[in-house]
Homo-oligomer: A and B are copies of this chain.
């Protein structure tokens, strides 16, 4: 468990953040300028905070009180910088190999071929960064960090410059790192679906302070604290793969309720997380019939929280867990949704977006 507690003042900006990052992916979430990169830099040792303590178990990276300041090169990090920072004088191949030169020879190491393949940079290996496109640079930067056999990965918006398809290819790799290699990951992202999919823990920042932290499901299920407002609210459910159907659908078992998804890679019996965005849920009092939507979760209204606009968030308890629905207040009135009311949540199969399906991780709460 990584514990971070730092205070630092820039002119016009004060950082005062403390959080705990349990094993898995801890996502730093917050508006531009809220201090995400600054925190990552203190963990990397590139910025010496005015005061603070950063430690992982008994491995202490920084403790200003006792004067411990581990040099960056002793921290064994894989830092994916927000701005690439590839070495312009080295080829892509040499950039990728750079970290491995310095890693202990017996460190567990990702296969270069595998990472190169995953990132689709095989045809670029002999080029220099100056001749790469923006997204290509970013992919090489990811590869360089992953291949350095790090004990801790710091990823500052690693996928921002990539197209959706490429993101969809790379995200599962971070999941595997989280689940199989169990490298702790500090991850900065603006994308709710990335957060939902990867995060074990979410730390929400605002103006240099932590405004919320906790397990992903909890923080994401609370529309009040998420920076971008209600649009990003959604529930994260844990489910088990029940069956792969012949027509390309996978049936999940979420607390006894069936959920249909486009085929997922997990084997039958495997556990995974599914994010259901609040705005993708339609509610119906009666059990709906004859719809193209396959997933219908019966539940009981737990709470109706009016939003700032014409909308409201309805939280309902189903056997699969707490599900959020964002509907108009008009509909809430028409349907008579009050706590205790029985409703059906209708979720389109495909609106459980591929990006929002992740391996089970450690969020089995």
Contact = CB atoms under 8 A, between A and B. Distances in A.
A57 interface: no
B33 A136 contact: yes
A175 interface: no
Interface stretch (A58-66, A176-184, A235-243, A346-354): A346-354
Contacts of A288: 284, 288, 290-291
Contacts of A292: 282-284, 325, 327-328, 331-332, 335
B330 A290 contact: no
A114 interface: no
Range, interface on chain A:
35 or more
A242 to B, nearest CB: 16
Contact of A192 (B164, B290, B335): B164
Contacts of A113: none
Contact of A166 (B31, B37, B291, B351): B31
B263 A310 contact: yes
A290 B33 contact: no
A309 interface: yes
Contact of A134 (B135, B136, B157, B279): B157
Contact of A32 (B11, B31, B38, B161): B161
A164 B282 contact: no
Interface in A138-186: 138-139, 156-157, 160-166, 168
Contact of A231 (B135, B136, B353): B353
A285 interface: yes
Contacts of A31: 135, 163, 165-166
Given A247-B310, A282-B292, A328-B292, A164 B133 contact: no
A359 to B, nearest CB: 19
Contact of A133 (B33, B127, B160, B311): B33
B32 A310 contact: no
Contact of A291 (B12, B284, B350, B354): B284
Nearest to A355: B231
Contacts of A263: 309-310
A67 interface: no
A57 B328 CA distance: 48
Contacts of A105: none
A85 to B, nearest CB: 12
A82 interface: yes
A161 B349 CA distance: 30
A62 to B, nearest CB: 21
A354 to B, nearest CB: 7
Interface of A: 10-12, 30-33, 36-38, 82-83, 123, 127, 131, 133-136, 138-139, 156-157, 160-166, 168, 190, 192, 227-229, 231-232, 245, 247-249, 260, 262-263, 279-280, 282-286, 288-294, 309-311, 325-332, 335, 346, 348-351, 353-354
29 contacts: A10-B131, A12-B123, A12-B127, A30-B163, A32-B134, A32-B136, A32-B139, A32-B163, A33-B133, A163-B190, A164-B228, A165-B228, A168-B228, A247-B329, A247-B330, A248-B311, A262-B311, A263-B309, A279-B348, A279-B350, A279-B353, A282-B292, A285-B290, A286-B289, A292-B325, A292-B332, A292-B335, A294-B328, A328-B350
